[in-house]
């Protein structure tokens, strides 16, 4: 498969991923990862300063499922809509069986009786593997620009 075909596939993966989040199907979210996949949300400032402190960290699908359960239990705040846009997907290399890819994203949030605002913007840094005919994230690092994350509960981005 050439780079053009691969980029097509990874764009499709990203599209399914953000659709899952936009539609709030959180229970399906861990399925986008390998069994021992890593998911990390980390501030751009921390990345640039080499600080390891992450806003959210999971290193297995089981841990992600726990996270979803916790979010479902805690979600008492006002209903809202999320909408992701992604662009500029780029395949940057290979590492073992994984493809390294990155993309820019922005998430818009609409709260009841408010306009639509930027919730979070940043960059996905992904390692993608093919497992049983399906592309999955072996690692997904969300590096966000947005210093203040609104709301108390951290949700997947």
Is the CB of residue 59 less than 8 Å from the CB of residue 40? no
Sheet with 116-131, edge to edge strand ranges:
56-58, 33-43, 134-144, 116-131, 98-111, 80-95
Residue with tokens 């021992």: 36
Q: Which is nearer to its own copies, 52 or 112 (CB)?
A: 112
Sign (positive or negative) of CA dihedral 28, 34, 35, 37: negative
Q: Which is nearer to its own copies, 62 or 150 (CB)?
A: 150
At 12 the three-state DSSP class reads helix
Site string for its own copies, 72-111 (x = CB under 8 A): ---------x-xxxxxxxx-------------x-x-x-x-
Decide if residue 41 touches its own copies (CB under 8 A).
Answer: no
Q: Which is nearer to its own copies, 65 or 83 (CB)?
A: 83
With 0-12 / 13-18 / 19 or more C-beta atoms within 10 angstroms meaning exposed / middle / buried, residue 144 is buried
CB of 77 to its own copies, least distance (A): 16
Q: 118 φ, ψ to 5°? A: -70, 120
Looking only at residues 135 through 154 of this chain, which bind its own copies when binding is defined by CB under 8 A?
145-148, 150
Decide if residue 116 touches its own copies (CB under 8 A).
Answer: yes
- Residues engaged in binding its own copies (CB under 8 A): 4-5, 7-8, 11-12, 14-16, 18-19, 22, 44, 81, 83-90, 104, 106, 108, 110, 112-118, 120-123, 145-148, 150
């Amino acid at each position: 498969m050439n780079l053009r075909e691969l980029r097509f596939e990874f764009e499709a993966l990203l599209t399914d991923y953000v659709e899952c989040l936009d539609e709030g199907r959180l229970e399906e979210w861990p399925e986008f990862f390998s069994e021992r996949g890593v998911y990390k949300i980390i501030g751009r400032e921390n990345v640039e300063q080499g600080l390891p402190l992450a806003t959210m960290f999971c290193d297995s699908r089981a841990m992600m499922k726990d996270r979803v359960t916790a979010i479902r239990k805690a979600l008492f705040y006002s209903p809202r809509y999320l909408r992701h846009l992604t662009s500029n997907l780029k395949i940057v290399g290979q590492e073992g069986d994984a493809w390294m890819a990155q993309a820019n994203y922005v998430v818009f949030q609409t709260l009841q009786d408010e306009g639509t605002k930027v919730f979070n913007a940043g960059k996905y840094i992904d390692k993608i593997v093919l497992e049983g005919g399906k592309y999955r994230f072996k690692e997904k690092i969300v590096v966000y620009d947005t210093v203040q994350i609104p709301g108390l509960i951290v949700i997947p981005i």
